Structure 1
Amino acid sequence: MDLINPQVVDLSRFQFALTALYHFMFVPLTLGLTFMLAAIETVYVITGRKIYKEMTQFWGGIFGINFALGVATGLTMEFEFGTNWSMYSHFFGDMFGTPLAIEGLMAFFLEATFVGLMFFGWHRLSKGAHLAVTYLVALGSNLSALWILVANGGMNLPVGGYFDPTTMRLQIDSFADVVFNPDAQAKFVHTSVAGYVCAAMLIMGISAFYILRRRHMELALRSFRMATLFGLLGTCAVIALGDALGVEDYKHQPTKLAAMEGIWNTTHPPEEPWLLFALPDDAQQKNYLEIGIPYVLTPLVTHSFNTPILGMHQLEEMSGPKIRSGIVALSALKTYSETHSADALALFKAHENDLGYGFLAVQHAPNQDVSAITDADVDQVVKATEPDILPNVFVTFWSFRIMVFLGGYFLVFFAFAALFSLKYTLVKHRWFLRLAVLSIPLPVLATEFGWITAEGGRQPWTVFEKLPTFLSSSSHSVGYMIFSLVGFALLYSIFIVIELFLMFRTARLGPQDYHHETAQTENKKGAFGLNFLNGDR
């Protein structure tokens, strides 16, 4: 088996990570803003007060900018699977492509069809009909996230499929198992609610900017209050659902869980600390400068006080028999593909569950051919392969920590925001309003680090324990990958500049259709993000 140039694999990974992280800056805001708009418009329909219609239309404009850029950045990603990840597409395409096809037919078309009516149907639809359209847009965006995360969930917990040795593909045998994959379901709810936190912080930050400037006060104060309650409930849900997702990792992806918590050796409950700070050393396989809270780790991860958590050293040792079995499976599969021997097929079936570990051993086999491994070589190959089962511990550990620490900050922030808003003292706390503006990007940053945790922690697999990443990419040249990487980076950078320009401009000018400030007056008050710290004296 000829291995793909490692530089091509790394460049393919970097390009997909770049485009995914760019795209994921828009996704959470889209998910959250749709339901925020639906909630505000519901108040308008119930009360009939014009201010809530103005709020819906203004924040709808912010949503429209984000939605358009989200679609533009998301389209290219699907092409990357075919161009840069051909082996992955062949191996896992049936299980990955089916949910994506349903997402396009059921969710994206629903969202895209009704989003136009939501923007341009104010004077053509009744209040109730327009509200129904807004809810359909919200439903479509969240259904879209559901099907995408069902596809991603199969990469982390590949259930509902079987490997066909004739076609060399994973094929669906239980669509219900694919849809109700516990990893996918936990991740969908966690990700969606994280989007609500992003939307709440964006609305609060822009509203705080208006309050500091003493502009659009009624719209800003009402928006701030609704977003505060939305954000507080969303943050509590994110934390609870994140815990549920962590339990799924503990059950099904122990290497990811151990890397997230920096656990090199199996724990001895209950006194094991949860690490606040550590410097994991992947080369030496140990941590430096550990600072932790004792008696927290075991109940946090296992929901018990006496269950040990496997460490990465022990997980490496436990992978040895799987690697040996996988070598047998891959050798038998090669023989079957050449001879269609019934004996080879029977031998493969006996070791089929460990095939992925056989793929993982390929890079350490003589001439990248596991069938060439002799009895004298097998121990050496197994020992060389064992460390490969671990992700980058430093990246996984710290991306998870940053996400968790930001989640704790949001809980405290929204609690104070609710207190100040409900007591009608918000305008007196100018320091807090400034903090709200500065905090706008933090929830998006938290979702980015969450995505890095999920995807980086799954390594070295594209499909967990089934297909290694180094075998998944296409065999392009290094020059082609550099060219396409630079092209994507430039294109997406332009998208980001457009997004920020339109967002800042819309936020700076405010809801001009309903207020009498002129554009000249707005310009005199200074650009958004530069003069807000001093406010209006």
Structure 2
Amino acid sequence: MDLAVVDLSRLQFALTALYHFLFVPLTLGLSFMLVIMESIYVMTRRPIWRTITRFWGLLFGINFALGVATGITMEFQFGMNWAYYSHYVGDIFGAPLAIEGLMAFFLEATFVGLMFFGWDKLKPHAHLFVTFMVALGTNLSALWILIANGWMQNPVGAAFNPDTMRMEVTDFMAVLFNPVAQAKFVHTVSAGYVCASVFVLGVSAFYLLRGRHVGFAKRSMTVAAAFGLASSLSVVVLGDQSGYTLTDNQKMKLAALEAMWRTEPAPAGLTLVGIPSMADRETHYAVQIPWVMGLIATRTIDKPVEGIFELVAISETRIENGVLAYDALERIKANPQDLIARADFEVHRRDLGYGLLLKRHVADPRDASPELIHQAAWETVPNVPVLFWAFRVMAGVGMFMIALFATAFVLCTLRKHETKWFLRVAVLAIPLPWIAIEFGWILAEFGRQPWAVDGVLPTFLGASSLTVPQLWATIAGFTLLYGALAVVEVKLMLHAIKKGPFHEQETFSEPSPESPDPREPAPAVA
């Protein structure tokens, strides 16, 4: 395999995934915020809440359309750019994606039209149910996609079949309830809720700074403050749980994001800042907080957190065992009735993927020298500086979000919505959750390298047989197309925000927030 093809395939997938994930978090969060806003409308029958729900629903729809369009491209890439990956693990990886399409995507696609066009045709309670089903479908989509991704991080419930030369499902319930997948789901979804809350908070703050749609903005800001505070606190708690799952399932990623080169005595300290160096294999000018890493990673004060050097030594042993598994597999291919070869394979089958790492350097892993095995073991270490700083940017923004929403909650409680300095901060903070989410994606996916499926399939073996010009052409095409879509998305969003929530009423002056909507039947008088 031409490694330039592998690198370009990775680049293309990374660019399209990062772009797609600009839309997903806002969709996840806005969907349930619409449920909250419309629930208030159904309970109070105050027309202002109908206006609020429809306005944010319009922005949700624009974002939803772009999310669907870019998500379809993502799934096609598994067949186009990662053909051997799809062949090797398609039985497991494809099942959650198929369920996502049949269960979740069809659910939200069915109800989203009713949500936008059913306001004057459905009773309020019925329309609220439709909005809830859209939110449920949106979040179920995230669940099944993250079950698939979680399996790549922690491949449970599956085994390699030497007769078919593919990975096959052995326990679908284990795939479904994979602890890594569950932790990733709740953390990712709560991050989406924070993203939507910041968006609503920032746009509301913009209106208040301009003195426009004041009643609308204050109510939207109050919902965003409460929902955002709960979500930002949950992000930290669930992120901690996500980190804890790394202790048992992805020890190398945990050591890399902490730049922990050697195992420290328990309880390990947390490196707050430092300058990790791949060349020197140490972290310069490290500032540590005692005990914290040990408590986070092990939930105890007497268990150590393994360092990179020790994990590389374990990888070296597993590569040696993987060579034995590869040898047994070759003997099985030559003679499927060779019971001794099958017995040897069963002993070392869990390390086959490590043996395949050597194919980056030699056609037959059995020809690898001890020096090459040692080199391949060090190639199991991801880029430590990238992971180290990606985690700190993500965590730093997360802590700022808690402070932002705590302040917003206090100001809304005290009815001091129009505090100028806070409104400016809220507008400037709009990009921050996207930055944190993108760095979180880099941390999760870049930290898995050199594996497409952790411990099972090296990334360089999963790529399709493409050429470098073909990949550059598609990268350029996607860049131009997605660049145009980004311009359209931003213009539509800004146009809707500029026109404001009351433009449909076609009046010369903005109606009072408490004035009745002329299209809304008067509520019954008790």
TM range (shorter): over 0.9
**SS of 2:447's equivalent?**
helix
* 1:355 paired to 2:345: no
Aligned-residue Cα RMSD (Å) equals: 1.4
1:250 and 2:240 equivalent?
A: no
Alpha-carbon distance between aligned partners in 2 of 1:295 and 1:339, rounded to the nearest angstrom:
55
Contact 1:281 1:288 in 2 (8 A): yes
Q: Choose from 62, 71, 87 the match for 2:68.
A: 71
Q: CA deviation at 1:163?
A: 0.9
Matched residues in 1 for 2:258 and 2:148: separation? 26
Q: 1:408 to 1:337 in 2, by over 3 A?
A: same
* Cα displacement string for residues 109-134 of structure 1 (whole angstroms, at most 9, x for unaligned residues): 00001000000000110011000000
Aligned to 2:379, the other structure's residue is in SS state helix
Question: Aligned ranges for residues 254-265 of structure 1 at < 5 Å?
Answer: 254-265=251-262
> One-letter code of the match for 1:35?
F
1:102 alignment partner in structure 2: 99
2:414 counterpart letter in structure 1: K
Call closer, same or farther: CA 1:83–1:299 in 2, change over 3 Å.
same
1:495 pairs, out of 482, 485, 495, with 485
- Cα distance in 1 for partners of 2:146, 2:10 equals 19
Structure 2 unaligned residues grouped into runs of 5+: 511-526
Q: Report the Cα offset of residue 250 of structure 1.
A: 1.2
Matching of residues 347-426 of structure 1 within 5 Å:
347-365=344-362, 368-373=363-368, 377=369, 379-426=370-417
Report what 2:302 is aligned to: 306
Q: Matches of 1:276 and 1:432 in 2, distance apart?
A: 28
Within 2, Cα distance between the matches of 1:199 and 1:308? Answer: 38
Equivalent pairs, count: 508
Report the CA distance shift for 1:213/1:464 in structure 2 as closer, same or farther (over 3 A).
same
* 1:334 maps onto 2:330 in alignment: yes
Q: Partners of 2:361 and 2:211 in 1: how far apart?
A: 67
1:319 has 2:322 as partner? no
How far apart, CA to CA, are the structure 2 residues paired with 1:474 and 1:114? 37
Aligned to 2:516: none
SS at match of 2:287: strand
Mapped partners of 2:508, 2:334: distance in 1 = 77
1:196 aligned residue (193, 196, 204): 193
Structure-2 residue corresponding to 1:236: 233
Cα distance between partner residues in 2 of 1:439 and 1:15: 29
Distance 2:488 2:288 in 1: 43
Q: Give deviations 1:325-381, integer Å, cap 9, x for gaps.
A: 10111122122223323332222122101001001122233xx212334xxx3x223
Shift of residue 417 of structure 1?
0.7
| Correspondence for 1:475 | 465
Q: CA deviation at 1:491?
A: 1.2
Q: How far off is 1:518 after superposition? A: 7.6
Query: Matched residues in 1 for 2:425 and 2:509: separation?
Result: 28
- State the one-letter code of the partner of 2:52: M
1:80 paired with 2:93, answer no
Aligned pair in 2 of structure 1 residues 514, 437: CA closer, same or farther (>3 Å)? Answer: farther
Query: How many Å separate the matches in 2 of 1:166 and 1:60?
Result: 52
2:399 maps to amino acid: G
Residue-by-residue CA offset, 1:227-254 (whole Å, 9 max, x unaligned): 1000000001111000111010111100
How far residue 300 of structure 1 moved from its aligned partner, in angstroms, is 2.2
- How far 1:492 moved relative to its partner? 1.3
Find 1:209's aligned residue among 206, 209, 213. 206
The one-letter code sitting in structure 1 at the alignment partner of 2:232 is T
CA distance in 1, matches of 2:123, 2:375: 68
What is the CA distance between 1:164 and its match in structure 2? Answer: 0.9
Structure 1: stretches of 5+ with no match in the other structure: 520-537
2:433 counterpart (433, 443, 448): 443
CA positional deviation for 1:159: 0.7
Measure how far apart 1:451 and its partner are: 0.8
One-letter code aligned to 1:385: A
Is 1:460 aligned to 2:450, yes or no? yes
SS in 2 for 1:465: coil
**TM-score, structure 2 as length reference:** 0.94
Q: Is the 8 A contact 1:162 1:172 kept in 2?
A: yes
Segments ≥4 residues shifted beyond 6 Å: none
Identify the residue that residue 532 of structure 1 maps to in structure 2: none
| Separation (CA, whole Å) in 2 of partners of 1:407 and 1:251 | 24
For 1:517 and 1:220, the matched residues in 2 are separated by 20
Aligned match for 1:184, one of 157, 172, 181? 181
Identity %: 50
